[in-house]
Amino acid sequence: MSKHPRPPNITDVASLARRMFGFDYLRPGQQDAILSLVNKHDTLVVMPTGSGKSAIYQIAGLMLPGSVLVISPLIALQKDQVDAINASDGNAEAVVINSSLTAAELQDELDRAANGSYKFIFLAPEQLHKEEALLAVKNSKVSMIVIDEAHCISEWGHDFRPDYLQLGRIIESLGHPVTVALTATASRRVREEIVERLGLRKPNVFVRGFDRPNIHLRVDHFENQNSKLEAVIHKVRWAEKPGIVYAATRKTSEQIMRSLAEEGITALFYHGGLKAAERHGIQDRFMSGDAEVIVATNAFGMGIDKADVRFVYHHDAPDSLDSYYQEIGRAGRDGERAEAILFFRKQDIGSQAFHTGSGKIDREQLTELIEVVEKKDGPVTPEEIAEEANLSTRKLTSTIQKLEDANVVELLPSGELQLAGQVDLEQATEAVIDRQEKHKEAKKERLEQMRAYADATGCRREHLLRYFGDEFTGPCGNCDNCEAETHDPSLGIQREIV
């Protein structure tokens, strides 16, 4: 009687990690997640940047047959990871398939992927909308799917991207290989949404390393905008560098950058409206140490792993604690002392709430879209709907997801959609609008949580970590409240209580 092969164990994992990557040891979170994957369990991993999330899928992938599909929105990071895999001590080959390739190069790489030439196939999520890319992936016999920056699938998270909404369908269309979702920061609600939207099956969830004890947490309160701006400039001038200043708008970012330049500080500013080449150039200058400070909107940061950032200051309050913790987590990754200061006015929350209330669904447009689906005899492709309803791809993707969430339509594994049974047009429209209103209320709730953090009188670290489900109990000894200090924000100095 033949024996079944024994399942991989810790010794097997450690041996491969040492032989292929030169790792003397694996962190507990890495080891557990790798074993979960090689034993065919869907897995969600929440670990800070720099803690070795990429090693999890690379080691697990080498222990599984077939190819590994890695879905990531970061082209620069994809290239770095592919270069690292191809330079490792093994026969595994990796490729990036993205918009930077010429048509001929793209077709050649797709053909090679389909023929099984690559162990690791890196794709941006929008590439999977293309039939030829999806077909090549299917032919490569995928044994594992990796969703990097998985928080992008969550509308409650800090960096929602509509392209991610189709990934659950893609996973099913590939026969649901074992799937791992990776992210650096995710509250309990965001984790639940990742699991739901990706359709993960009874996943093992590993959450590690939310606490960053080397980051000093502080909030400075202001009554007016001018005094707050002056305090930011003054504080940056005297702070140890390099550092990051976040602002809510492009205009404010540029204003702060110019004010810093007048103080003799080499500063850059970054926002999502810049051309891709400009953004990459600015990012490279900051990463290489060519600039002391980068002033940015929330468009800056995903995939940034600069170890020696000494401060992250927020001129404006972010839209949630999820966003705030993700952004301050870019400080002090070398383990040395760093600081995170929120320069806060109560009016900041009101401004965020105003933007949260914008972007209403167009009732007529929504009704028209439902009618287009209703009139079709059977399933319809998103492309057909877009043409008839005159919607952009991004707007269509988001609207279709809202219809699916409200159980008005259902998405099929083929990528087509159809009405979910008999639909009353008016009721269907109201269901989507009602869900959108609940979504807006949730956003306002997140803003109130941000306000509560700013107004907290207890340990700020405890406040943050408990939000993410970590039962940390203060005092932490490294926040303004725990140190029982008073602070003169207009001067940027601290005074001990006497």
Question: Do 274 and 337 have their domain in common?
Answer: yes
Counted residue by residue, the chain has a size of: 498
Question: Do 199 and 113 have their domain in common?
Answer: yes
Report the domain count for the chain: 3
Q: How far apart are CA 478 and CA 490, in angstroms?
A: 22
HEC string for 364-379: HHHHHHHHHHHHCCCC
The tens-digit pLDDT sequence of the chain (498 residues) is 445 555 666 666 766 766 666 676 677 678 889 989 999 999 999 987 766 788 899 889 888 888 999 998 877 677 778 877 777 766 678 888 877 777 788 888 888 888 888 889 998 888 877 778 888 888 888 999 999 989 888 876 556 777 788 899 889 989 999 999 999 888 888 899 999 999 999 999 998 878 889 999 999 999 999 999 999 999 999 999 999 999 998 999 999 999 999 999 999 999 888 887 888 889 889 999 999 999 999 888 776 778 899 999 999 999 889 889 989 989 998 889 999 999 999 888 866 655 554 455 667 777 777 777 777 777 888 777 777 777 776 677 777 777 777 777 777 766 777 777 776 777 777 777 887 787 788 788 888 999 999 999 999 999 999 988 888 888 999 999 998 644 454 444 443 332
Beta bridge partners of 410: 418
Question: Do 262 and 337 have their domain in common?
Answer: yes
* Residue of 226, 188, 221 whose CA lies nearest to 205: 188
Structure confidence at residue 486 (pLDDT): 44
Range of the domain at 385: 363-442
Task: Answer yes or no: are the C-beta atoms of 288 and 262 closer than 8 Å.
Answer: no
Structure confidence at residue 492 (pLDDT): 47
Question: Do 202 and 148 have their domain in common?
Answer: yes
Whether 175 maps to a domain, the answer reads yes
Whether 314 maps to a domain, the answer reads yes
Question: Do 373 and 347 have their domain in common?
Answer: no
Question: Do 170 and 292 have their domain in common?
Answer: no
Full-model pTM: 0.77
Question: Do 54 and 103 have their domain in common?
Answer: yes
Whether 309 maps to a domain, the answer reads yes
CATH number, domain of 89, equals: 3.40.50.300
Q: How far apart are CA 94 and CA 111, in angstroms?
A: 14
Question: Do 201 and 53 have their domain in common?
Answer: yes
Neighbouring CB atoms inside 10 A of 108's CB total 12
Whether 191 maps to a domain, the answer reads yes
